[in-house]
Amino acid sequence: MISKIQKYISGAPEEIGSMLIFLKQILKSFGSLKDYKLELLSQMYQVGTSALIVTIVSGVFVGAIFATQFYIQLLGYGANSFIGGLNTSGTIRDLGPLLVAFMLAGKIGAFMSAELGTMKVTNQIDAIRCLGTDPFQYLLAPRFLAIVVMTLVLLFFALIVSIVGGIFAMIITANINPIEYISMIPDLVTPVSVITGLVKSFVFGFLIAWICCYLGYTTEGGAKGVGRTVNKTAVTTVVAIVIADFTISASIDWISFILGGS
């Protein structure tokens, strides 16, 4: 166990360096996307449609679950009238992007890494290169950008759906008037909350795209290697999202404190 941890720590700098070089190549390939518009649109459609149901279901239940939990806590203080604003603010700022990103990481990230990994171990990527086409331009850049854009769109959509889920949960379980629920949203949902949610949605989508494309492209070891890649993608993406969530929250809170105190 200790030897595995030491091996992982010692290999981390090299892995991070390889990922940064890979990201640089991806970003350089964006200039050629105009030649692969159909591939980009196809990937955006595939990512959007494949994760839409997961986004709707997870968004509704995220909003409903946290509305219920917040209501129970507020009820003890006689402040249940604040449920609409508090739940919406918490969902947009932190809980919604985080939990839905977990779902999308498993749905989109694992699928894309498996697809690219299978192409790698069956030499399809080498065949594309032999035909004179750059795999980064034809395969990776469209997939990368499609995941970033559609994950941002899906997460934003999930946040809207989660608000609806919270309203329905309160109507069913607490008999709260939806007008009363909605009326408190403008009071507690600040611009900082919205900006935080949007920044997190973009960063989470970027991390999902980066990790799944890199691990899929560097897959080795045949069918077993593809399985290891899918598992590694799921674990690495979730860990990266959690770290990014804390970093963004702490940074924005610190900036808000500095600006508010100046």
Q: Please say if the pLDDT value at position 261 is more than 50.
A: no
Please report the pLDDT score of residue 174 as a whole number. Answer: 80
Which range is least confidently modeled, 63-67, 133-137, 183-187?
183-187
pLDDT score recorded for residue 262: 42
Tokens 């604040």 belong to 82
C-alpha 111/C-alpha 104 separation (Å) is 10
Question: What is the pLDDT of the chain when averaged over all its residues?
Answer: 84
Question: Do the domain assignments include residue 166?
Answer: yes
205 located within any domain = yes
Is 3 within a domain? no
**Confidence bin at 213 (pLDDT 50/70/90):** very high
- Whose structure tokens read 């894309």? 112
User: Domain span at residue 156?
Assistant: 36-261
Per-residue confidence band for 210, with pLDDT thresholds at 50, 70 and 90: very high
Q: What integer is the mean pLDDT of 63-69?
A: 84
Residue 9: per-residue pLDDT: 60
What is the C-alpha radius of gyration for the chain, rounded to an integer number of angstroms? Answer: 21
- What is the band of 157 on the pLDDT scale with cuts at 50, 70, 90? confident
Token match 């890979």: residue?
22
Q: How many other CB atoms sit within 10 Å of the CB of residue 160? A: 13
Q: Which helix (H) or strand (E) holds 123?
A: none
Task: For residue range 223-253, list pLDDT tens digits in order.
Answer: 888 989 998 898 899 999 999 999 998 888 8
- Predicted pLDDT of residue 69: 82
Give a yes or no: residue 4 inside a domain: no
Express each pLDDT in 96-127 by its tens digit: 788 878 888 888 888 889 999 999 998 888 88
pLDDT one-digit tens code per residue, 46-58: 888 888 888 888 8
Residue 23 lies in a domain: no
Asked if the structure places residue 58 within a domain, the reply is: yes
pLDDT for 260: 65
Let me know if residue 25 belongs to a domain: no
Residue with tokens 């997190």: 200
Stated pTM of the model: 0.86
Tokens of 7: 């091996």
Largest Cα span, the chain: 70
In a domain, 45, yes or no: yes
User: Chain-centre distance of CA 24, in angstroms?
Assistant: 21
Domain count along the chain: 1
